[in-house]
Amino acid sequence: MKLLLVQLTRNKLGQVTRTQQTLNVDQVRIGRGSDCKFHLPDPRVAMHHAVIGSSGSDLTNDSTCFIEADAGLVTIDGTIERAAKLKVGQKIHLGPFELIVLQHVADVDLALSWELLDPLKDNLEGVKANVKVGLRNTWLSKRFFSWAGAAAILSVFLIWPVVSALNPPPKMSGAQAMASPVLASAITADASWNPGELASPHQGFGRDCAQCHTQPFVHTTNAACESCHQIIGWHFARDTKEAKAMHAAVFEKPGDATQCASCHRDHKGPMGLVRQDSPLCTQCHADLKIKVPRTTTANISDFSKDHPPFKLSMLVPGKTGREGIVRVSQDESGLKEKSNLKFPHDVHMEKKGIRGQNGKTVMECKNCHVPDETGSRFKPTTMKDHCQDCHSLEFEPKATDRQVPHGNVADVLATVNEFYAQAVLADTPIDVVFDEGARRPGERLNVADPAKRLAALSWASKKGATISQELMEVRVCFTCHEIKRVSVADGTDPKTPPTQTWQVEPIAVTQHWLPKSRFPHNQHSPYECKECHQVEKSKTSADIAIPDLKNCQGCHAGNITTTDKVRGTCETCHGFHVGGSKSGVPIPLPGGVPHDPKERAAKSVAVLQPKAHP
């Protein structure tokens, strides 16, 4: 087979140069291999890419020439072929080479032109194209991220909250807000502004910021606080002109000092609303005598250093109002309580027990001192509940079911007199009533006989007087009460001699010795009563068993906690708003504050005012 190969090469202007080569072989192997007669020098061509051969003997017939793929791909007119006959005009692609079957040429079995269509790129350019350096050549963009981040943050954390705050939902009260399911569940626009957890009482409506933050760019106002907190006390009573002026100067000047929020900062956690720090108090009280020369309040800077002795508030028997309470310093010598009640603690606290109506009883403190509802302090001790079980008011041993009433001398005398008159006049076996020999045993009084009746009544009257005197001056009433004999003149007739009677001195058992402080007894329950109140050897009710300053200082340090003591700031025992409220409703004492303002008022009065022993 004679084969004519025409190589086409083009210069930059596209002009073609032809180079001819004639091969005379049976078969022509095409490839980049050096053993290929039809050599195509390019790595993209297979070593042995294809074979061209002739199958027929009629060498003039072009249809006998064929091409057959070997290790490479052969594409003929765009179609991949395994083997094909060659026809004039066919375009054959082998890698980057194009072969075209040419018109017959004399003496040649097959004429082909070949051309490298896609020369390999320059090596350097190829490598450079594969090297990509620098983040600026990637999708990362500082500018885009800057704008996007800033815009997102401003939208979510500034624009949205401001727009929503300026277009508030309908105003709700605190209670409504608490009940509103929308506020309870939804994420509010300004939630991201919340700098910290609210005080627990405020958390219910806390998602509605406008409850307290009523105006943009304005401090929270007292009005916002007072819309709920209507009963708030002054710091001290404004009951004199001077006190009023002083209060105004310190607490009512315009600006920050009047703000509730200057002390009560919210968003400080569930318990963070009330200041517990002593400096709040000591910034004035450390040198109060300089600031207010006429004050009777002592200077104090630290509980462990210069707290004055406790001042006891004792009831004054028979007096009410301001005169009913006397305040005395606990360090005064010979301090005695005048309660007009006889009560020797030692007798009652006898370890072996005390004889009562029901036999011997060993008494404990809690028998008489019963904690009140708050557990902080104690219910008043009463005759009915705490004494009468043992201290029966019987007056006649032969009639143990009869007792004199408790509470009023006149009633006692009347009861005694009536009892003996009734006994002597009624159809009662006399020896049951008395045994002075006026009757013989078994004899009955003839009531129809006026003389006898008179004699009987006279006896009853005498007997009544004797027993009454006994009750008032020897036993029963006298056991507990201070009683004095008095003469009462009949106002209507000056000639009538005054009647002899008795007066029970008014009882003034002090219930709250230290009303300006709070002492939650229940929080001190690990300690026994006697650790603070030494009464076991007290022989008289005049002894005062209120523990003194040193006693408290045994466990409580001052402003700074020590390793062995509990911190004791001013707030530990004292309140701030203790001076009577703006609205006129008395400020409840610490502990046991009823919810209803009226009840609250009544209760606080009841504790402060001296009250006759029931």
Segment 18 to 37, residues that bind another protein, using CB under 8 A: 32-34
Minimum gap (Å) between residue 190 Cβ and another protein: 7
Binding of another protein by 44 (CB under 8 A): yes
* 430 Cβ contact list (under 8 Å, min separation 6): 424, 438, 439, 441, 443, 444, 445
Please check whether residue 343 is in contact with residue 539, taking contact to mean a CB–CB distance below 8 angstroms: no
* 357 Cβ contact list (under 8 Å, min separation 6): 389, 390, 392
Please check whether residue 515 is in contact with residue 589, taking contact to mean a CB–CB distance below 8 angstroms: yes
Q: Report the sign of the C-alpha dihedral through residues 594, 598, 599, 600, in that order.
A: positive
Binding of another protein by 255 (CB under 8 A): no
The secondary structure element, H or E, covering residue 417 is: helix 409-425
Binding of another protein by 146 (CB under 8 A): yes
Binding of another protein by 133 (CB under 8 A): yes
Binding of another protein by 43 (CB under 8 A): yes
Minimum gap (Å) between residue 48 Cβ and another protein: 8
- Applying CB under 8 A, among 13, 135, 187, 223 the residue interacting with another protein is 135
- Applying CB under 8 A, among 50, 74, 209, 460 the residue interacting with another protein is 209
Closest CA to 477 of 422, 523, 413, 542: 413
- Applying CB under 8 A, among 24, 192, 329, 374 the residue interacting with another protein is 192
Segment contacting another protein by CB under 8 A, of 127-135, 308-316, 378-386, 451-459: 127-135
* 410 Cβ contact list (under 8 Å, min separation 6): 501
Segment contacting another protein by CB under 8 A, of 271-279, 301-309, 343-351, 471-479: 271-279
Separation between Cα atoms, residue 450 and residue 354, nearest integer Å:
49
Place of tokens 């001077």: 242
Separation between Cα atoms, residue 66 and residue 51, nearest integer Å:
8
Classify residue 146 by burial, with Cβ atoms within 10 Å: 0-12, 13-18, 19+: exposed
Minimum gap (Å) between residue 74 Cβ and another protein: 15
Q: Report the sign of the C-alpha dihedral through residues 439, 440, 444, 449, in that order.
A: negative
String of contacts with another protein for each residue 275-314, x by CB under 8 A: x-x-xx----------------------------------
- Applying CB under 8 A, among 134, 334, 397, 497 the residue interacting with another protein is 134
Nearer to another protein, 152 or 488 (CB): 152
Nearer to another protein, 220 or 511 (CB): 220
State both tokens at 40. 């195509």
Classified as helix, coil or strand, 134 is coil
Closest CA to 226 of 196, 272, 259, 270: 259
Binding of another protein by 131 (CB under 8 A): yes
DSSP letter at 336 equals -
State both tokens at 425. 């006049």
Nearer to another protein, 216 or 497 (CB): 216
Nearer to another protein, 213 or 291 (CB): 213
The count of residues interacting with another protein (CB under 8 A) is 66
Q: Which backbone phi and psi does 90 adopt, to 5 degrees?
A: -65, 140
Minimum gap (Å) between residue 281 Cβ and another protein: 10
Segment 163 to 182, residues that bind another protein, using CB under 8 A: 165
Segment contacting another protein by CB under 8 A, of 185-193, 368-376, 576-584, 606-614: 185-193
Minimum gap (Å) between residue 142 Cβ and another protein: 5
Binding of another protein by 272 (CB under 8 A): yes
Separation between Cα atoms, residue 249 and residue 257, nearest integer Å:
10
- Applying CB under 8 A, among 66, 193, 434, 478 the residue interacting with another protein is 193
Segment 494 to 513, residues that bind another protein, using CB under 8 A: none
Please check whether residue 584 is in contact with residue 601, taking contact to mean a CB–CB distance below 8 angstroms: no
Cβ–Cβ contacts within 10 Å for residue 161, how many? 17
Binding of another protein by 136 (CB under 8 A): yes
Minimum gap (Å) between residue 284 Cβ and another protein: 13
Nearer to another protein, 162 or 363 (CB): 162
Please check whether residue 541 is in contact with residue 339, taking contact to mean a CB–CB distance below 8 angstroms: yes
Nearer to another protein, 194 or 562 (CB): 194
Q: How many angstroms separate the Cα of 326 from the Cα of each of 320, 342, 415?
A: 11, 21, 37
CA 533 to chain centre: 34
Rg (CA), the chain: 57
Minimum gap (Å) between residue 29 Cβ and another protein: 14
Segment 91 to 120, residues that bind another protein, using CB under 8 A: 120
- Applying CB under 8 A, among 16, 105, 140, 426 the residue interacting with another protein is 140
Segment 345 to 404, residues that bind another protein, using CB under 8 A: none
- Applying CB under 8 A, among 64, 188, 211, 220 the residue interacting with another protein is 220
Q: Where are the alpha helices (DSSP H) in 190-240?
A: 222-226
Nearer to another protein, 140 or 486 (CB): 140
Residue 325, CA atoms < 13 Å, CB-side half-sphere: 17
The secondary structure element, H or E, covering residue 110 is: strand 110-116
Nearer to another protein, 146 or 297 (CB): 146
Q: Report the sign of the C-alpha dihedral through residues 198, 202, 204, 206, in that order.
A: negative
Segment contacting another protein by CB under 8 A, of 217-225, 241-249, 343-351, 487-495: 217-225
Binding of another protein by 219 (CB under 8 A): yes
Residue 329, beta-bridge partner list: 311
Please check whether residue 39 is in contact with residue 31, taking contact to mean a CB–CB distance below 8 angstroms: yes
Minimum gap (Å) between residue 71 Cβ and another protein: 6
DSSP letter at 46 equals -
Nearer to another protein, 2 or 44 (CB): 44
Nearer to another protein, 42 or 372 (CB): 42
DSSP letter at 358 equals T
- Applying CB under 8 A, among 4, 47, 298, 414 the residue interacting with another protein is 47
Minimum gap (Å) between residue 276 Cβ and another protein: 10
Minimum gap (Å) between residue 614 Cβ and another protein: 46
Which chain residues interact with another protein by CB under 8 A? 32-34, 41, 43-44, 46-47, 71-72, 120, 122-124, 126-128, 130-136, 138-140, 142, 145-154, 157-158, 161-162, 165, 190-197, 209, 213, 216-220, 263, 265, 268, 272, 275, 277, 279-280
